[in-house]
């Protein structure tokens, strides 16, 4: 290991399979450098085979296709700046706590993804009248817990969702070939959705006439609001509006004076329109300054924000951040508790001591 | 960054100055590989100068000395396997929480340190009758918070402590030159003490006739048991007996069956004699199997331990670990709360769900 100072690393949550958070508090780059992009794996990495470089499309299509990586390169490409967030991000903050990876704030990253719209590829096949859902299968295979089923990682989208022009089959991240560790050579990117929808190591796309029932569709990535039953479940879909205070760190000690509070905010419906801070437990809020590059009105960026805070008095302060989006949503004071701990987006909280 | 899978990294707690935890749950090596050894800095890294390679000894001595690195190499060396633990390790677990670095379990590491006994070096100088304390000064300099004092990092030991034959001036860690990031070229190693005593980038050693009053001696690294006053303070010295459950991880989901629970245990008084586990909130305890290499009866190793657990029933379990040492100490059910959050050593707790 080549040591230069200081050095920043991803945060290991699990080694087998490899699950890592982005060190999100320490990243000030516009996009998340690929080395720090969060990793969430359900199974061990797939075998490296040449079959990773092609894609089978079959089912409710007029012409089943095997599409090679090199063929995709000749199509019209699209580059989108997209936030990916694990549905379990911030699970560690639930009270009562829930089982699963104890992600803190860093199971979220922001990258520039290049590929072709899925719908342009599906168009080559032609869909039959019976087409209802699109099932994406990854090359990663293993035993699903708790069901114990041996399965590939598979997820479906409705036809309407799948045909959105910004759903990509991507092969580049931040201008470089998509690393194997992030689902390369070919990965689905579904903007605005939690990242379980962005299937890695894309192996096949099945167009089906029914409703897909795989365990990652109907058991995991489902909100179960009841503590003691599976009642009233509903599926995890788009990202909840959210923000993180990057600096200061929680339970930091700071000198009296002016401090630049800074952070990030993102959403899965529309765009972030405002980030507010509160220094009195949410009684009143004051807007932070949004920055970052100009996003399209319907873009998928995260926004950076900052606020100049004059800490005049010594003592303990609690700083809350709350993002709003263009769909009228805002972060709640308390997160919506659900048994598997998905979709946490309570106002972000940092406590500091001014000394 | 060269990617092989899976990859393990230190955990960044702060970037400026660089503070990192060891990824202690994922390390199964006998000693902590140097790349993963925890880092706790008070200030920015010192300037790299040739003066790092010599050491001034002055004060209550007959012959003040400037000792060069290359001179030390000709003396009789000693290698000791020593646990270093930051006094703030596990601070994040206090309730109520305390300010400062929010270390979880990994501000502790175990290395083989090679150097010469400090007392052999002091003997070259000869101590006067007035000698009472030994003050160690590092090359690292900055502003101490909250006092605002500009100071080098300095700590003292009593003459008796300093003359213990296992207090080393060390220049090797795990058989390699001690990296600059860990205090090289020359670092003090004080076995059994919390690591604030093991002064890095050793610049000078002052023998004094009084009591040293620097801020890292009399303000920081002091236990303040009162929530609202500085009353009844007492100094942080040796490491409290402690243990960590490395596997399973907290809030893991596991299948029914036999699981090998494993962990580490260490102490700053004598040696670890027993590690017990409880599956019923501490009502009853059962001994784990201690392993690791044969430590001297007065050694400074940590011990690894394991326990074969048959999880017959689905449901939630809490696993507690409790270490005992040869001085008759054991980990308490609740940690001793103190305002700066030092010396946490409550029984270690992991909650798992058997599915």
Structural domains present in chain A: 11-220 (3.90.420.10), 242-354 (2.60.40.650)
Of A103, A144, A112, nearest in space to A34 by CA: A112
Tens of pLDDT, residues B257-285: 999 999 999 999 999 999 999 999 999 99
Q: Give residue A122's pLDDT.
A: 97
Could you give the CA distance from residue A66 to residue A79 in angstroms, rounded to a whole number? 24
d(CA B207, CA B121): 13
* Nearest chain A residue to B6, by CA: A18
A292 touches chain B (CB under 8 A): no
Q: Does residue A269 belong to the interface with chain B, where contact is any CB pair within 8 Å? A: no
* Residue B162: its H or E element: helix B159-162
Tell me: pLDDT of A272 over 90: yes
Cβ-Cβ contacts under 8 Å between A and B: the total is: 91
Count of Cβ atoms closer than 10 Å to residue A291 Cβ: 10
Tell me which residues of chain B, numbers 76 to 115, contact chain A at a CB-CB cutoff of 8 Å: 97-100, 102
Instruction: Confirm or reject contact between B124 and chain A (CB < 8 A).
Output: no
Q: What is the pLDDT of residues B198-240, one digit of tens each?
A: 999 999 999 999 999 999 999 999 999 998 778 899 999 999 9
Integer Cα distance of A40 and A58 in angstroms: 28
- The pair of structure tokens assigned to B303 is 């011990």
Q: What is the pLDDT of residue B1?
A: 39
Q: What's the pLDDT score for residue A291?
A: 86
∠ CA A12-A14-A19, rounded to 5°:
70
Question: How far does A30 lie from chain B, in Å, by closest CA?
Answer: 18
Q: At residue A160, does pLDDT exceed 60?
A: yes
Contacts of A20 in chain B (CB under 8 A): 9
Nearest to A199 by CA among A186, A208, A213, A218: A186
Q: Each residue of A286-335: pLDDT tens digit? A: 999 998 665 676 789 999 999 999 999 999 999 999 999 999 999 999 99
Q: What is the pLDDT of residue A88?
A: 98
pLDDT over 70 (residue B295): no
- Whether the predicted pLDDT of A1 surpasses 50: no
Contacts of B14 in chain A (CB under 8 A): 249
The answer to whether B35 contacts A1, with C-beta atoms less than 8 Å apart, is yes
With CA atoms as reference, the chain A residue closest to B355 would be A146
The complex's ipTM works out to 0.91
Of chain B, the percentage scoring pLDDT greater than 90 comes to 92
Stretch among A109-123, A171-185, B279-293 having the lowest mean pLDDT: B279-293
* Nearest-Cα residue of chain B relative to residue A148: B255
Q: Given an 8 Å threshold on Cβ–Cβ distance, is A8 in contact with B26?
A: no
Q: B137 - beta bridge partners?
A: B154, B204
CB contact under 8 A, B14 and A253: no
pLDDT at position A24? 97
Question: Which of A99, A148, A251 minimises the CB distance to B100?
Answer: A251
Put simply, the answer to whether B255 touches A18 (Cβ < 8 Å) is: no
Residues of A with CB below 8 A from B90's CB? Answer: none
Q: How many Cα atoms within 13 Å fall on the side-chain side of residue B160?
A: 0
pLDDT of residue B4: 59
What confidence tens digit (pLDDT) does each residue in B107-146 have?
999 999 999 999 999 999 999 999 999 999 999 999 998 8
B253 — contact with chain A (CB < 8 Å)? yes
Contacts of B112 (CB under 8 A, 6+ apart): B31, B79, B80, B81, B82, B172, B173, B174, B175
Q: Judge whether residue B250 has pLDDT over 90.
A: yes
Mean pLDDT of chain A: 95
pLDDT of residue B227: 84
């Amino acid at each position: 290991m080549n040591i230069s100072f200081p050095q920043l690393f991803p945060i290991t949550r699990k080694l087998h399979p490899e699950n890592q958070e982005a060190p999100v508090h320490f990243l000030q780059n516009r996009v998340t450098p690929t080395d720090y992009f969060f990793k969430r794996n359900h199974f061990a990495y797939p075998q490296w085979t040449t079959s990773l470089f092609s894609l089978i499309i079959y089912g409710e299509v007029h012409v089943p296709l095997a599409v090679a990586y090199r063929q995709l390169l000749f199509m019209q490409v699209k580059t989108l700046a997209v936030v990916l967030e694990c549905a379990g991000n911030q699970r560690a903050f639930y009270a009562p706590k829930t089982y699963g990876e104890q992600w803190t704030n860093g199971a979220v990253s922001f990258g520039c993804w290049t590929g072709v719209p899925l719908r342009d590829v599906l168009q080559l096949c032609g869909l039959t009248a019976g087409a209802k859902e699109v099932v994406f299968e990854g090359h990663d295979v293993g035993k699903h817990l708790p069901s114990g089923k041996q399965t590939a990682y598979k997820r479906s989208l409705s036809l309407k969702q799948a045909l959105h022009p910004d759903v990509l089959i991507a092969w580049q991240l931040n201008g470089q070939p998509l690393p194997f560790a992030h689902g390369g050579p070919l990965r689905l990117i579904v903007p605005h959705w939690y990242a379980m929808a962005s299937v890695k190591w894309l192996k096949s796309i099945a167009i089906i006439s029914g409703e897909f029932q795989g365990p990652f569709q109907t058991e995991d990535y489902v909100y179960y609001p009841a503590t003691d039953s599976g009642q009233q479940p509903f599926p995890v879909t788009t990202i909840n509006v959210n923000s993180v205070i990057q600096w200061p760190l929680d339970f930091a000690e700071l000198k009296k004076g002016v401090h630049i509070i800074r952070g990030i905010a993102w959403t899965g419906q529309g765009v972030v329109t405002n980030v507010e801070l509160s220094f009195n437990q949410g009684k009143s809020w004051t807007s932070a300054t949004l920055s970052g590059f100009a996003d399209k009105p319907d873009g998928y960026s995260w926004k950076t924000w900052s606020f100049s805070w004059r800490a005049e008095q010594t003592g303990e302060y609690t700083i809350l951040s709350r993002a709003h989006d263009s769909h009228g949503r805002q972060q709640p004071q308390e997160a919506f508790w659900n048994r598997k701990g998905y979709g946490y987006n309570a106002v972000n909280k940092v406590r500091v001591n001014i000394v």
